[in-house]
């Protein structure tokens, strides 16, 4: 059991990569605090986890753009499980896919709020709690978009926030390494989830073709990488960007 007795917050747990991570971490012994806006999805997932696996799942619905939600997730881990050992800050949105010239300010602001400013809120709430435990691990979900070779048209707000997250993590990691807190970023390639175009065969064929491996990832394949970084097996890993992108970033053709 890779995460036995570890108490871990997962945001974006109502769907896709976050939901797969919730199941996987619980199977590996973690107690998980599941956060997202859709309460019904969270409740159903927590019930399934509590019936299936050795871990315990509890839920809190809310919006990651509210700093109070970040604090409430931490308070829940402390009150219900006795402390916090890690977080998978994974909630994210693509926003409107449109060129900068026609992008609304509202879209820009909302993508920045969910993907980047919320990462700051999460870290600010989580770090003091991890310090009380004498250390821990935080993983943020970034993306191949904003990091790999080649830009994708219409995704500038998303790319900017994911690249910004990589910078945030570098500083966070160096600020807290001496306190035993490791901070890393996960860079998935195209993954079969609602945000990744699940159910839209045209999008999925296009995105699959971008990867040398010629398919998209399953959400569990991405969750496995987050599991590693949250576990003690990654004890010497901090400030890293783990690329899990089917070869996208080394693509020549
Ligand atoms: P998904 O299935 O659409 O899940 C997105 C999750 O984020 C949902 O649980 C959603 O929950 C939550 N969320 C969105 N806005 C939120 C908000 N304001 N407050 C709280 N929760 C919010 O997509 P996914 O692919 O699993 O995405 C997970 C992460 O992977 C994202 O950061 C995404 O950018 C990243 N990523 C995805 C891909 C891909 O191809 N799929 C590739 C690279 C990176 P609610 O709607 O219930 O709030």
Name the band, by pLDDT with cuts 50, 70 and 90, for residue 152. confident
On the CB side of 3, how many CA atoms lie within 13 Å of its CA?
34
Average pLDDT, integer, range 158-166: 96
pLDDT at 24: 97
Ligand 1 atom nearest 18 alpha carbon: 26
- Which residues does ligand 1 sit against, CB inside 6 Å? 11-18, 36-38, 41, 63-65, 90-93, 114, 141, 143, 188, 190-191, 193-196
Q: What is the pLDDT of residues 91-144, one digit of tens each?
A: 999 999 999 999 999 999 999 999 999 999 999 999 999 999 999 999 999 999
Distance between Cα 94 and ligand 1 center (Å): 8
Residue 121 bears catalytic tag: no
Q: For residue 31, is pLDDT > 70? A: yes
Rounded Cα distance, 211 and 192, in Å: 13
Q: What is the pLDDT of residue 28?
A: 96
The answer, as to whether pTM is greater than 0.85, is yes
Output the CA 81–ligand 1 centroid distance in Å.
25
Q: Whose CA is nearest to atom 30 of ligand 1?
A: 141
203 is written with which tokens?
């999008």
Q: Please, where are the H alpha helices in the chain?
A: 16-27, 39-52, 67-76, 105-111, 118-133, 156-176, 201-210, 219-230
Q: Which two tokens stand for residue 214?
A: 């010629």
CA of 178 to the centre of ligand 1 (A): 31
Task: Assess if CATH 3.40.50.720 describes domain 7-248.
Answer: yes
For 7-11, 16-20, 75-79, 142-146, which range has the lowest pLDDT when averaged over its residues? 142-146
User: At which residue do the structure tokens 């080649």 appear?
Assistant: 150
Q: What is the pLDDT of residues 209-238, one digit of tens each?
A: 999 999 999 999 999 999 999 999 999 999
User: E strands within the chain?
Assistant: 7-11, 31-36, 56-61, 86-89, 136-141, 181-188, 241-244
């Amino acid at each position: 059991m890779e995460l036995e007795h570890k108490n871990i917050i997962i945001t974006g747990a109502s769907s896709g990569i976050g939901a797969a991570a919730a199941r996987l971490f619980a199977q590996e012994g973690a107690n998980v605090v599941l956060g997202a806006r859709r309460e019904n999805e969270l409740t159903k997932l927590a019930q399934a986890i509590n019936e299936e696996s050795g871990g315990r799942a509890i839920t809190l619905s809310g919006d990651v753009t509210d700093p109070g939600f970040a604090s409430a997730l931490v308070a829940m881990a402390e009150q219900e499980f006795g402390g916090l050992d890690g977080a998978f800050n994974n909630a994210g949105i693509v926003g409107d896919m449109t060129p900068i010239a026609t992008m609304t300010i509202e879209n820009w602001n909302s993508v920045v709020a969910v993907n980047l400013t919320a990462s700051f809120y999460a870290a600010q709430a989580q770090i003091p709690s991890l310090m009380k435990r004498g250390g821990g691990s935080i993983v943020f979900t970034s993306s191949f978009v904003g990091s790999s070779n080649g830009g994708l048209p219409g995704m500038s707000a998303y790319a900017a926030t994911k690249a910004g997250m990589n910078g945030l993590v570098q500083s966070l990691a160096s600020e807290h390494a001496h306190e035993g807190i490791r901070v890393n970023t996960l860079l998935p390639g195209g993954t079969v989830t609602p945000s990744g175009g699940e159910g839209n065969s045209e999008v999925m064929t296009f995105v699959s073709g971008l990867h040398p491996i010629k398919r998209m990832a399953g959400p569990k394949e991405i969750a496995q990488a987050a599991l590693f970084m949250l576990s003690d097996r990654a004890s010497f890993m901090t400030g890293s960007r783990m690329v899990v992108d089917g070869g996208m970033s080394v693509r020549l053709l």
